[in-house]
Structure 1
């Protein structure tokens, strides 16, 4: 159902133009979630490494670099965080950064990226379920603002809920809705994706649809809460020491 081929060479040129060395750059957003439209922009996410003098000096460096626009005919949004900021987010109940780190859609990688992916397993906790509960509530509010309601934000609601349920049950981060639905077997997901890809004409819902999906939203919230209660994941991340060692090594040993 992928409606858009990824031209990695064009994305790589934008990564190459980044002002700081990158540990990785991956694709997030609709492409990662499994339902990009032909006109979907590319959400590039990653980690950069500030020079040592910008870390220890009086003038702070750019903890976050953001760049958006149309380049080589592709609309893209590039956001990267400095390693310290990103590592700190990894130690919190932030599933979003783990999805970026573990995205299979890789534009740029390094040996340190592979190290981070290994460390990520020690940063997953039962309390990441709260991240997905909050994220789902936010997406549901966005869905409810449209009149008539649109398919796209509804797909984001389901993606978030199924990712959270899967994480609580398996300890694995999976952000692709179509992959998640192989286990969840929600009969309406494929149709919703097809309607989203078909464009604006079929990308809205009627009142009967809205009532049904509201029941499903409440049901899946309950499933996520139940999965959290039953999860065998630890309550706290255990990867802090390893992340600290990696950060010190990156600051002191990595060559520009």
Structure 2
């Protein structure tokens, strides 16, 4: 599959006259709980030639899109962001981007850009931004998928993972690991709740995930308690944001020179 992905990335470079800097897996495969029929969620960062940026309309305005997306099929979902969009999101401590940067499934990396971005992590990470992101994800998914008497078991993980990510941030004040297993091992001790989650995880990975089943009261109670607690904690945070624009501008210019000169 990696060879197919690399071929697609090469086509994207040729068809759009760009260079891809980094490509990785996101979603359930990167999180560590894919099922047998999970597709591949490939995300990449790319850069245009210098003259593309030297116009009166910035990238992302009008016809100059700052994303490249391929049609989604049953096997492959592939899309990417222009480096300018990427660095603006990094300035905001964007959690999905931080996950891309920490993905354990790497498809392609060229030039020094992603390593330089990682060096800025400690200056860029704002815990409140990630907490709001993960908490809202958990609340929305819980409200939409887990309130009925009958639920699809796969939906539990789209609430559990963001809740555990919030717990990690509260505990360590650092970027949470992308692996669900790492979060689970650190946050949930052995006991009845952990046994329920472990059993659910085995069933999801085995592909037993789409049937409607009675909701699991123990997990629902845990999620409701954590959502309430984390709402209070998130509102209590007072974070001072330091503007990193100058460093990110410098990184962008360095990348243009490295790639195209």
Shorter-chain TM-score category?
0.7 to 0.9
Residue segments in structure 1 that go unaligned for 5+ positions in a row: 1-6
1:149-172 superposed Cα distances (whole Å, 9 cap, x missing partner):
111121111011111221343213
Structure 2: distance between partners of 1:80 and 1:146:
36
Kindly tell me: are residues 125 and 58 of structure 1, through their superposed partners in 2, closer, same or farther at Cα, counting changes over 3 Å?
Answer: closer
CA RMSD of aligned residues (A): 2.7
Contact 2:153 2:209 in 1 (8 A): no
Q: Does 1:236 align with 2:241?
A: yes
Tell me the CA shift for residue 146 of structure 1.
Answer: 7.2
Is 1:254 the counterpart of 2:259 in the alignment?
Answer: yes
Contact 1:93–1:127 under 8 Å retained in 2? no
Equivalences for 1:1-256 in 2 at 5 Å?
7-19=1-13, 20-57=18-55, 60-70=63-73, 75-110=75-110, 111-128=112-129, 129-144=131-146, 148-170=150-172, 171-185=174-188, 186-187=193-194, 188-200=196-208, 203-207=211-215, 209=216, 211-225=217-231, 228=234, 234-237=239-242, 239-255=244-260
> Structure 1 98/212 Cα, relative in aligned 2: closer, same or farther at 3 Å?
same
Matching residue of 1:4? none
Cα deviation 1:211-237 (Å, max 9, x = unaligned): 433311122224534664787x95325
In the alignment, is the contact (CA less than 8 A) between 1:27 and 1:100 conserved in 2?
yes
TM-score calculated relative to the size of structure 1: 0.83
Equivalents in 2 of 1:65, 1:146: separation in Å?
A: 37
The answer to whether the 8 A contact 1:46-1:101 is kept is: no
Deviation at 1:239, TM superposition (A): 3.5
Which secondary structure state, in structure 2, belongs to the residue aligned with residue 68 of structure 1?
Answer: coil
Deviation at residue 189 of structure 1 after TM alignment: 2.0
SS in 1 for 2:260: coil
What per-residue deviation string (whole Å, max 9, x for no partner) do you get for residues 145-200 of structure 1?
87731111211110111112213432133121111111112512211111212334
Residues 25-69 of structure 1 deviation map (CA, whole Å, 9 limit, x = unaligned): 110000111110111001011211122232223675330011134
**Which residues of structure 2 form unaligned runs of 5+?**
58-62
- Name the counterpart of 2:60: none
Say if 1:142 and 1:153, in contact at 8 Å, map to a contact too. no
Pair 201,163 (structure 1): closer, same or farther in 2 beyond 3 Å: closer
Deviation (angstroms), 1:253: 4.7
